[in-house]
Structure 1
Amino acid sequence: MSTVTRNQFLFGHRQEPTQRAAAISIPASPELDATANNSAQGAGAAAGASQAPSHASQDSANNSHIPPRNQHRQPPPIPRTSLDLALRSSARSSLESHRSDLLQDPLPLSFAPAMAVTPGGYSVNVNDPTLIALVNKLQDVFTTVGVQNPIDLPQIVVVGSQSSGKSSVLENIVGRDFLPRGSGIVTRRPLVLQLINRPAPAKLQSNGVTEAELKNSSDTQANVDEWGEFLHVPGQKFYDFNKIRDEIVKETEAKAGRNVGISPQPINLRIYSPNVLTLTLVDLPGLTKVPVGDQPRDIEKQIKEMVLKQIAKPNAIILAVTAANVDLANSDGLKLAREVDPEGQRTIGVLTKIDLMDTGTDVVDILAGRIIPLRLGYVPVVNRGQRDIENKKRIDLALKAEKDFFENHPSYRNKASYCGTPYLARKLNLILMMHIKQTLPDIKTRIATSLQKYSQELDQLGAGDLLGNNSSNIILNIITEFANEYRTVLDGQSAELSSNELSGGARISFVYHELYSNGIKAIDPFEQVKDIDIRTILYNSSGSSPALFVGTTAFELIVKQQIRRLEEPSLKCVSLVYDELIRILGQLLTKQLFRRYPQLKEKFHGVVVSFFRKSMEPTNKLVRDLVSMEACYINTGHPDFLNGHRAMAIVNDRHNANKPTQVDPKTGKPLPPQVPPRSGSPSLPTDGSETNSGFFGSFFASKNKKKMAAMEPPPATLKASGTLSERENQEVEVIKLLINSYFNIVRRTMIDMVPKAIMLNLVQFTKDEMQRELLEQMYKTQELDDLLKESDYTVRRRKECQQMVESLGKASEIVSQVQ
C-alpha cells in the first residue's frame, strides 16, 4: 500500500524536509496561533490544503512504503506564495476536525477566519466571502450592461473533455441536480456559476414562496432556503432546480440555436444556499475531437478557441477535470491548460472516476506530483455513475458514498480528509479568495485606467444629435479652427510636435534646402555638351570668317541651353511642396471631429485639394518665368562672373606651365609664346604626308597628292571629326571656364529664388486665404445639415463608450468600498 505525505496531496509534489522548511516559512504570530486553536469546530471552510508541522514524524513513518527516489522522477521544488502560506495556516485549524464525520456537516459555515502572511509581511483575512461577492458584482455589472468585460477578473474556469465528469463535479459542489444532461455537447454557452452562502435562519422564512408552491414543485428537495437567480431574468427566484435546468436550456437555445452550435456569450446563474461555500466557477463546453451528428465540422476548433480565450487570462484559475481511469498524459483539460500555464502555477487538477480504476491501481503517484506536477495540486473525487443519475440518487447520499470510499480504500484512507468534494470546495473557496485579495489592487488600477480612457474617447466623440439650428455656427467654428491649425502646422507651432520625425513646415524646409538644393548642385553643365560639340559651336558661331578671338555668341548659346535644364527640377520642387501640403491636409483630417462627420471630411478634402491645385498654376508659371529670365539675358557684367581675359590668362598659364621657356639667341631674352594656328583654316602638310588633323581635316585629306586637285563636294551632313588642335583645346577650355562660372551664378540664384516663389504663390497664399476659400465653398445653408450627419461608426462607438463608462463607473464604485 502506497501512502504519501500531506504536502504531496496539497501541493502536488514531494520535497525533502530541509527543502520544505526553506520553501515555507510562517512567522510565529499570536494571531495565527489563536486562529489555529479556535477553529476546530469550523474546519469545513478553512480546511485549506496543507499539513501541520507537528505531524512530520507520522508522515515519515507513512512514507516507508513510498518507492525510493531513484525509481520515480522527482519534480523540482515549486516556490511558495502567500497562497501556500494561507493554505498551511488554515490547515492547522482543520486537522482535528478532518477526523470527524465530514458528511454530517459537509460544509460548516461558522468558522474562524484563516489568516495568511503575505509577501509584504502583513496578515490578511483570506476567508472574507465579501471578496468573492465583489467579483460577482463586477461580473454582473459588465454582463448586465451588455459589453465585453475589459477587466481580467479572478475566476475559476472549469475545463475538461465531455466524458471527464465536469457536470457531476459542479453538481456535487452545489449539492443539487441543476445542469442539463444528454448526449453530445450539452453545455454550449459559458455558465458563470456564482455560489452564495446564505446561512439558514433560526426561524424558517417564506422568502415570498408558499408551501403550496414548494409541494407542487417537481424538485422533491425544494425548500425556502435554496434558490437560483438568473441575471437575464432579474427579480425571479427559482426554488425548483429542475426549472433552473430548463431555463439554462431555454437561454442556450435563444442564443446558440436548437442545434449544436455554441456561443461565447455567458449565462450568469447565482445560487443561494446554506450548504455551499461562496465561490464562482465558469463552466465551459466539454472538449471534443470528432464531430457527431449535426455538429459543425470545426466544432473542435470552435470549442478550443472558446476555452483558450477564457483560461488564457492571467487571473483565471484553471480547474482541469480528468478521468482517473485514463492516462493522465492524454488529458484534454491538462493539455489545454499547459498551453497557457506551462509551469502549472495556476492549475488545479481534479481526478474523477476514482472508483472505476482497475483493481490494484491508484492515483497516489499523481497526487504526489510524480507524473505531472501542479503547484495547486490534485483532488480526487467520486461522482455518481450514469445509473445513479438515471435512478435519481440524491447527491447527499452520493457524498456519503464518496466519503466511505476514500476512508475504506487502502491507498487513500490515511489521507481521506484531503479527498472528496467537500475538501475540493473548501480548497477552491480559499484559493479564490486569496487570489482575489492578491489581484484586487491591480483590478482597481485597471478599472480607473479604462474609465479614464473611455471617458476621454466619449468626450472626443461628443454628444449626439445636439445640432438643432446651430449647424451654421458649428461649420463656422470648424472652418476657423481648421484654418488656424493649418497655419500653426506650417509655422511649426503645433501643440502636437513630434520628436521622432519631421512634420509640417519642417518637411517643406527639407524639400528646399536638401532635396532641391542638392539636386540643382548635382547638375553638370558639361554632362550633355562634349568638347567636340563646343568646337562645332565655335566654328558655327564664327561663320565664314574665322574669328580672331573667342566670341560671346558660342558662350551664350551653350549657357542658355544649360540654364533651361534647371526648369524641370524647379517644377519638381513645386510638386514636392504640393505633396507635403496634401500630407498636412491628411493629418488634419484624421482628427476625431472629421471621423465623426464623414461627409464634412470629404467636403473639406475636396475643397482644400482644389484650392492647392489652383495655387499650383501661378506657382509653376512664376518658376518658369524665373528660368526664362535667367536664360533671356546673360549678364556677363556680373561681379562674380569670370570674364574672358581672365579665362584666357588662366588657360595660357596652364598650357605654358608645362613648356620650356624659349630664349632669343641674339639678345638672350625670353621669346613670347607662339600662338598655334587655328585648325579651322585648312592647310596642306609640308612634308607631303597624309593628315586628318583639324576640323575639316577628314574631309579634305587625300590619299595621295595626285587626287588633291579633284576635290569632291562636301556631304549633306557635315560633322566634326578628328582630334582637337592645341589652339582648339585652348579655346574650348576658355569657353568651359566661362560657362561653369556663369552657370554657378545662375544655380545659386535659382536655389535662392525658387523657394521664395513657391512660398509666395503656394504656401503663404494658401495659409492666408484658407479660411476665405473654405467659407466661399462650404458655407452654404442648404448643405450644412448634410455635412454634419454623423457616421454609423460614430453612433455605434458612442453607444459602446457610454456603456463602458457606465459599467466601469459602477465597477469603480464597487471596488472603492473595499479598502
Structure 2
Amino acid sequence: MSPRKDNKRIDIGGMSNTLNQHYEDKVRPYIDLVDNLRSLGVEKDLNLPAIAVIGDQSSGKSSVLEALSGVALPRGTGIVTRCPLVLKLKRVEKGAPWSAVLTYKDQVKILQRPKDVGSAVSSAQNVLAGEGKGISQQMISLEIKSSDVPDLTLIDLPGIARVATGDQPLDIEKQIKDLIEKFIKRQETISLVVVPANIDIATTEALKMTSKVDPNGQRTLGILTKPDLVDKGAEESVVNTVNNHVIPLKKGYMIVKCRGQQDINEDLSLSKALLKEQVFFQNHPHFRPLLEEGKATVPLLAERLTRELVEHINNLLPQLHKQVEYKLDKTFNEMRKLGDGVPQEETEKNNFLIRKINNFNQVLSDVMRAEEDTQNSEPKVFTKMRKEFAKWKQQLDSKAVRLEENLQDEVEEYTHNCRGKELPGFVNYRTFENIVKKHIQEMEEPATELLKDISGIVHSCVNKVVSSHFEAFPNLLRAQEHGKALEKIQSQFKMEKIVYSQDGLYSHRLQAVKQKPQVIRMLNADVREMAQHLNAYFLITSDRLANQVPLIVQYHVLDQYFSRLQASMLSMIGCENAMKLIREDSGVAQRRKSLKDRLERLRRARQLLAKFLLSVS
C-alpha cells in the first residue's frame, strides 16, 4: 500500500516540509529497505529502485544536491563528480547531532562536521578514479543523518562533458554517457534531469539521453535551475516548460533556485539560501504561480522526490521479490553443479573421487542406452545421431537416382573405349567393375563427413557431462575413438572395391530391376544390359553402406569411446595421479566463494523483503 501524502505543513530546520510525523513513519521503512538491500551488495545481482541525478556540466546539479543534503559537495570547473555517489539522507529528530558516514571500497570514514564532506568525497574519488580527471564506475556511499534533510536516497552521476580538456581521457564523453546509460536504462530507475532554465531545454544532452531509454517520459522528472538568469521576455517559455507544455514528461517538471557562485563567495549558508529562494519565487511576477502550484523551491522538490521514490519502491516490490527468488534458484543450481569442493582428508578425498567417477560413468551409460535425462526439451544424443544417419541414407538414395539418370552416357563411353570381342548385349565385366568403383569412391567423403558430424555431437555431449560432474577439475582427458572409426570406414570402402554380393541376393535384385519400367529409353543393348547390372549392384551396395557406416561410427565414436572412458576413469581410483583429477584451480575456488557470497546476500535480501512485506500487509 502506497504511503499517503498529508497536506499539513511543518518546518524542518528552515526547510518547509509537508511531511508530518505519521507520513514520515510510513516513508522511512520503504527507503530503509532499499538502502539496506544496497548495503548488502544486492545491486551486484539485481537492479534496485533508485533516483539517478543527471545533467550536463554546469547545469546546477551539484547545487541541487547541496540544497537537498545541507552539505557542500565538491565544486569546480569541468568534471567534479567522477564516481557514482549514493547520497542517503536520513531525517532525525530535531536536536539530534548531525552525522555522516562515507564508504568506498573497504574504507569507512566517520565525518563529524558538514564542512568535512566535500574534501572527504574528493579524496575518495581520487582513490577510485585517480588523481586526474578520469571517472570510475565504483560507487561511493555517503549517508547523512540530520534534522534538516528529507528522507531520500539519490545517486549522483558525473556531468556530461562534450569535449575532453586538460588531462581528461580523449573518450571522456563516451565514458560518462556509458556510465549514465547503465543506470537510466534500468526500468527500476527514476531519472532526475537537471537543466538550466536560461537555455533551450531541447538542446540538453541529458534530456536527449533519457528520451532514448524512456521515450514516453514515464520515469523522468525534469528540474529547472538558475531561474534568476532567465532573460527578460523569456519567462513565459520557462513557465510553459515547467507546466509540461514544451517537452512533456509523465512526471513533469519543477523549478528551484540554489546558491550561485556569488552566494558562495559571500558565504551564504544553505539554510539562508532556502529562505532567499522562497522570497525569490514569492516576489517573481511570472514564477509565483509555480510556487503556489507546488512546482517550485527545494523543500517542495524534496517532498516530491521522497513521494516519487516511495511510490516507485512500492510498485516494484512484487517484481523485486520475484527477482530475488529467481536469482536464488539460479545461484543454488550453479553451486550444486560446482559442489562443496574437494575434502581435505585423504580418506574423504578417495570417497569423493569414487562418487564423482561413479556418477559420471552412470550418465555415460545412460547416454549409450539412449536413456539420459534431457533438459529444456533438448533431443537425446542418439536422437541427434539417428537424424544424421537418416541424412546419410538420403545421400545414398540420391546417388542411386543420379546414377540411373547419367548411366547411359557413362556406359556408352566405357563401351566405346573399352569394348572387346564380345557381341552386343554381353556385359563387359571390367567396364562394370570400373563404373562401380568410381561411384563407390565418390561416397567415401560423405561417409567421413558423417563421422565428423557424429563426433561433434558426442564431443558436445561429453563436454556437458564433464561440466556437470567435473567442471571444477580441468585435468580430465578427453580422448576419442575418431581415428579408429575413420580407419574402419576407409577399410570398408576398400572392401567395396572388391565388388561382391551373394549370388542369390544379386540374382534376385537383378530380376527386380529388369522387371522395372525403364526411366530412360536405352536402344543400345550394351547400354541397357550394363545399366541393369549396375543398378542392381549399386542398390545392394547402398543398403550395405546405409547400415555399415553408421554401425562403425556408433560402435567406435559412442560405445567404444564411452566404454574406454569409463574404464579409464575407474582405473584412476587408487592410482598415484588420481588426485590430479580432482585438483581445483584457483579460478574455480574463487567462483565457488563468489557464489557462496551471492547466495548469502540474496538469502538475507529475501529475509528483509519478507519481513517488510509482512509489516505493511
Please give the TM-score of this superposition, normalised by the length of structure 2. Answer: 0.85
The answer for the alignment partner of 1:812 in structure 2 is: 606
Does residue 190 of the first structure (1) align with residue 84 of the second (2)? yes
Render the CA deviation track for 1:7-66: whole Å, top value 9, x for unaligned. xxxxxxxxxxxxxxxxxxxxxxxxxxxxxxxxxxxxxxxxxxxxxxxxxxxxxxxxxxxx
Distance 1:408 1:197 in 2: 30
Distance 2:350 2:489 in 1: 34
Instruction: Please give the secondary structure, in 2, of the residue aligned with 1:157.
Output: strand
Q: CA deviation at 1:812?
A: 1.2
Q: How does 1:277-316 map to 2 (within 5 A)?
A: 277-316=150-189
Distance 2:473 2:103 in 1: 38
Instruction: Please give the secondary structure, in 1, of the residue aligned with 2:475.
Output: helix
CA contact (8 A) 1:229 1:237 kept: yes
CA contact (8 A) 1:472 1:781 kept: no
The range that moved more, 787-796 or 163-172, is 787-796
Does residue 630 of the first structure (1) align with residue 506 of the second (2)? no
The answer for the alignment partner of 1:180 in structure 2 is: 74
Amino acid corresponding to residue 229 of structure 1 in structure 2:
V
Does residue 90 of the first structure (1) align with residue 17 of the second (2)? no
Does residue 442 of the first structure (1) align with residue 316 of the second (2)? no
The structure whose residues are more often helix, as a share, is 2
Q: How does 1:715-794 map to 2 (within 5 A)?
A: 729-730=524-525, 733-756=528-551, 764-766=559-561, 768-772=563-567, 775=570, 781-794=575-588
The range that moved more, 188-197 or 527-536, is 527-536
The one of 485, 504, 512 aligned to 2:363? 485
Render the CA deviation track for 1:231-267: whole Å, top value 9, x for unaligned. 3478764221222222212211111111111111111
Q: CA deviation at 1:272?
A: 0.9
Q: CA deviation at 1:511?
A: 4.6
CA contact (8 A) 2:13 2:148 kept: no
Amino acid corresponding to residue 300 of structure 1 in structure 2:
E
The one of 124, 127, 137 aligned to 1:254? 127
CA contact (8 A) 1:156 1:316 kept: yes
Distance 1:187 1:637 in 2: 88
Does residue 228 of the first structure (1) align with residue 100 of the second (2)? yes
Instruction: Please give the secondary structure, in 2, of the residue aligned with 1:90.
Output: coil
The answer for the alignment partner of 1:428 in structure 2 is: 305
CA 1:758 to 1:350, structure 2 compared with 1: closer, same or farther past 3 Å?
closer
CA contact (8 A) 1:535 1:732 kept: no
Amino acid corresponding to residue 605 of structure 2 in structure 1:
A
Does residue 199 of the first structure (1) align with residue 93 of the second (2)? yes
Does residue 509 of the first structure (1) align with residue 389 of the second (2)? yes
Render the CA deviation track for 1:370-393: whole Å, top value 9, x for unaligned. 222222222221111212212321
The range that moved more, 229-238 or 334-343, is 229-238
The answer for the alignment partner of 2:33 in structure 1 is: 134
CA contact (8 A) 1:520 1:569 kept: no
Render the CA deviation track for 1:302-351: whole Å, top value 9, x for unaligned. 11111121111112111111111222223333232222222222222222
The range that moved more, 578-587 or 560-569, is 560-569
The answer for the alignment partner of 2:53 in structure 1 is: 158
CA 1:774 to 1:432, structure 2 compared with 1: closer, same or farther past 3 Å?
closer
Aligned residues: percent identity?
A: 27
The range that moved more, 365-374 or 186-195, is 365-374
Distance 2:552 2:66 in 1: 84
Q: CA deviation at 1:569?
A: 5.3
Q: CA deviation at 1:481?
A: 4.2
The range that moved more, 296-305 or 509-518, is 509-518
The answer for the alignment partner of 1:398 in structure 2 is: 273
The answer for the alignment partner of 1:169 in structure 2 is: 64
The one of 599, 602, 610 aligned to 2:475? 599
CA contact (8 A) 1:156 1:282 kept: yes
Distance 2:435 2:372 in 1: 42
CA contact (8 A) 2:451 2:553 kept: no
Distance 2:284 2:496 in 1: 105
Q: How does 1:279-358 map to 2 (within 5 A)?
A: 279-358=152-231
The one of 450, 453, 459 aligned to 1:585? 459
Amino acid corresponding to residue 158 of structure 1 in structure 2:
V
Amino acid corresponding to residue 534 of structure 1 in structure 2:
T
Render the CA deviation track for 1:669-720: whole Å, top value 9, x for unaligned. xxxxxxxxxxxxxxxxxxxxxxxxxxxxxxxxxxxxxxxxxxxxxxxxxxxx
Name which one, 1 or 2, has greater alpha-carbon Rg.
Answer: 1
Q: CA deviation at 1:766?
A: 4.1
Render the CA deviation track for 1:589-636: whole Å, top value 9, x for unaligned. 132445422232xx22xx2x2x332354345435543553617x8669
Q: CA deviation at 1:192?
A: 0.4
Q: CA deviation at 1:431?
A: 1.2
Amino acid corresponding to residue 460 of structure 2 in structure 1:
G
Distance 1:298 1:550 in 2: 85
Q: CA deviation at 1:281?
A: 0.8
The one of 774, 792, 795 aligned to 2:589? 795
CA contact (8 A) 2:99 2:144 kept: yes
The range that moved more, 424-433 or 230-239, is 230-239
Distance 1:466 1:168 in 2: 58
CA contact (8 A) 1:192 1:280 kept: yes
Aligned length: 598
CA contact (8 A) 1:157 1:282 kept: yes
Instruction: Please give the secondary structure, in 2, of the residue aligned with 1:294.
Output: coil
Distance 1:314 1:789 in 2: 43
Distance 1:577 1:246 in 2: 70
Distance 1:732 1:341 in 2: 77
The one of 608, 621, 628 aligned to 2:491? 621
The range that moved more, 582-591 or 742-751, is 742-751
Q: CA deviation at 1:399?
A: 1.1
CA contact (8 A) 2:482 2:556 kept: no
Stretches of structure 1 lacking an aligned partner (at least 5 in a row)? 1-81, 115-124, 202-223, 656-725
The one of 251, 262, 266 aligned to 1:376? 251
Instruction: Please give the secondary structure, in 2, of the residue aligned with 1:193.
Output: strand
Distance 2:13 2:230 in 1: 24
Q: CA deviation at 1:157?
A: 1.0
Q: CA deviation at 1:359?
A: 3.6
CA 1:466 to 1:637, structure 2 compared with 1: closer, same or farther past 3 Å?
closer
Distance 1:139 1:166 in 2: 23
CA 1:555 to 1:642, structure 2 compared with 1: closer, same or farther past 3 Å?
farther
The one of 500, 503, 511 aligned to 1:642? 511
Q: CA deviation at 1:480?
A: 4.5
CA contact (8 A) 1:511 1:573 kept: no
CA contact (8 A) 2:51 2:191 kept: yes
Distance 1:410 1:306 in 2: 40
The one of 322, 334, 348 aligned to 1:457? 334
Q: CA deviation at 1:527?
A: 6.1
Distance 2:44 2:557 in 1: 52
Two-structure CA RMSD over aligned residues (Å)? 3.6
